[in-house]
Structure formats: structure tokens, C-alpha cells
């Protein structure tokens, strides 16, 4: 079973070597690794020359999802997966994925858990979050919206892209989530592993892991547009309609918090007032999301402190 890995990159020389090495460390006998480069000028292309096994395409593109589409079009594997240029695979993932699919011929995808980590002082790795509950990421409208809409810890049969299509470039930040929504509504069946299949690296240049930036606001607006289009284009059962209501509340709550972090108090208050007047239940979602965000931040701070103390 051949596996195609697609990595989009633009000026990620600092990280992409580790991503490539994590693929090689799988020691899987049949794979290809496509690097779709948007025109790097930081030495990335020179670094890639150290790895003769890579398939490299370097040309201007319309962003990361355009690059992913180029990779999907060129991939020749039975399975296709997306590896970000600043992330890594844990050992043994490819073998596990192939074995699961061999036992589940009905499945069109494999979904695994993920970990978010950062490198602390002295090079010590600190785990920020870990998600290993298949009930949260088994492919469904819920997991693609209010659950865990992770695309990188999923391996898709090629037929999924023939059935569902490519990544929609109308969504500049959250097209991966929109793809998962389409896949869920199309009835794509997956088999899940409780193991960590993917490791996300948090760093200051992360596009979607830093609270309080314009990219995050664009991603939220992408989500709100997805909700509108999904409601217009599908006759959803009541349970799915309720999922979209829940997701809309979470998006608006997060948007208020992002504006607050960005010190845009007037916008935050205006949106909070509008959301509360439209849907009084929104307040409970806002308080819950705020408590969860605070808890995650405190947990990460504590783990960083413990790691630094041990290293010292």
C-alpha cells in the first residue's frame, strides 16, 4: 500500500528538515514525499537537495491549499496525507495506518490522535495538549466543527479526493475544515486509532495556533461562511442543525475573545452584545470557552515550568 505525503512550504528552512526526517524514520517500504514550494528564498530549496528521494515542485501558488491541491493532483499513492512543513510524524504511524486499513477494507480513511508541543528553554520539548479520544475525531459533522477538525492526522484513500473534490480556495485559512465537512456530509467512513498519529509544533510563526491575530479572525469568518453555505445547500437532520448552532456560538465567542486579546475592546463589546441579543444561550458558550482557554494557558505554563525545572 503506497503512501503519498504532501508538504506545502514557503521559507520554512528552520523546520522542514525535521518534517522530512520524520517521514524517513517511518522506515516504510513504499512511499513518496511531495514538497510543494511556493518560491522560498531562505535556503529551503538548497536544503531539499540533500534528500534525493523527494519529489519537489517549486513555483508561485495561491497559498497553502492551492499547494495541497497540486500535491493531490500529482500523488500516486493508494493513501494521501498532509504533513505541514513545521510538524512531524511519530514513529510507526505508516505501518499502523496500513495495518488498520488492511483489516478494514470498508474504511475510506484512517483517523488518529494528535499532540501539540513546543520547544522550551534549552531545547526541552513541552507537551501543550494531547488528543487521543477517537469519539472526538471520528469523521462526522460534529468532529469537523465543534470536535477535533484535524486533517493532518488523517490518511485518505485516493478515492476520497475523487468523490469529495479538492480544497476550496475560497476559504484562505480554513479550507481543510471545509473539506472535512464535505467529506462527513458525503458519508466518508473512517476507522480510528487511539494512538498519536501527528505532532503539531507550536511556535511564534504558527498560522493558526496563536490567539489574537488576523489569521485567526479570518479562520473564524471562514467558519461562519461555511455554516451559511451548509445550511443553504443541505437539508440537514435536526441533530446536525443543532451542531451548526453550537459551532456558530463557539465561533462568535472565540471572535469576541480574539478582539479582546488584540485590544479591540469596542469591537469585542459590540459583537458580544449582538450575539447575546440574538441568542441569550450564547453567554453560556462564551463563559465555557473562556474557562477552557484559561485552563489550557495555565496548564501549558505549568508544564513549561516543570520541564525547565527538570532540565535545570
**Tens digit of pLDDT for each residue in 92-151?**
999 999 999 999 999 999 999 999 998 877 777 888 889 999 999 999 999 999 999 999
Buried b / exposed e over 164-197, threshold 16 CB at 10 Å, is beebbeebebbbbbbbbbbbbbeebebbbbebbb
Closest Cα to residue 145, out of 238, 233, 223, 207? 223
Q: Residue for cell digits 525545572?
A: 309
CB 177 within 8 A of CB 247: no
| pLDDT tier for residue 212 given thresholds of 50, 70 and 90 | low
| pLDDT tier for residue 207 given thresholds of 50, 70 and 90 | low
Percent of the chain past pLDDT 90, that is, above it, reads 85
Amino acid at each position: 500500500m503506497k503512501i503519498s505525503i504532501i508538504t506545502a512550504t514557503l521559507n520554512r528552512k528552520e523546520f522542514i528538515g525535521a518534517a522530512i526526517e520524520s517521514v524517513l524514520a517511518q522506515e516504510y517500504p513504499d512511499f513518496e514525499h511531495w514538497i510543494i514550494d511556493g518560491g522560498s528564498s531562505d535556503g529551503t530549496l538548497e536544503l531539499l537537495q540533500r534528500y534525493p528521494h523527494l519529489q519537489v515542485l517549486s513555483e508561485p501558488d495561491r497559498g497553502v491549499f492551492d499547494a495541497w491541491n497540486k500535491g493531490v493532483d500529482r500523488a500516486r499513492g493508494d493513501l494521501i496525507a498532509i504533513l505541514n512543513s513545521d510538524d512531524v510524524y511519530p514513529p510507526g504511524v505508516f505501518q499502523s495506518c496500513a495495518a488498520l486499513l488492511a483489516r478494514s477494507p470498508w474504511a475510506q480513511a484512517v483517523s488518529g490522535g494528535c499532540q501539540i508541543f513546543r520547544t522550551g528553554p534549552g531545547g526541552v520539548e513541552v507537551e501543550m495538549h494531547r488528543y487521543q479520544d477517537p469519539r472526538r475525531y471520528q469523521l462526522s459533522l460534529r468532529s469537523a466543527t465543534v470536535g477535533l477538525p484535524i486533517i493532518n492526522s488523517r490518511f485518505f484513500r485516493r478515492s476520497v479526493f475523487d468523490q469529495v473534490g479538492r480544497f476550496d480556495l475560497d476559504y484562505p485559512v480554513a479550507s481543510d475544515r471545509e473539506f472535512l465537512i464535505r467529506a462527513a456530509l458525503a458519508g466518508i467512513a473512517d476507522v480510528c486509532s487511539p494512538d498519536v498519529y501527528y505532532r503539531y509544533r507550536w511556535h511564534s510563526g504558527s498560522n493558526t495556533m496563536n490567539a489574537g491575530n488576523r489569521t485567526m479572525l479570518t479562520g473564524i469568518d471562514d467558519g461562519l461562511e461555511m455554516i451559511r453555505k451548509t445550511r443553504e445547500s443541505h437539508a440537514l437532520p435536526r441533530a446536525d442543525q443543532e451542531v451548526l448552532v453550537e459551532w456558530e456560538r463557539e465561533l462568535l465567542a472565540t471572535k469576541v475573545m480574539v478582539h479582546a486579546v488584540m485590544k479591540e475592546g469596542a469591537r469585542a463589546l459590540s459583537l458580544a452584545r449582538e450575539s447575546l441579543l440574538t441568542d441569550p444561550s450564547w453567554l453560556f458558550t462564551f463563559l465555557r470557552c473562556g474557562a477552557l482557554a484559561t485552563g489550557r494557558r495555565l496548564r501549558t505554563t505549568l508544564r513549561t515550568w516543570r520541564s525547565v525545572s527538570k532540565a535545570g
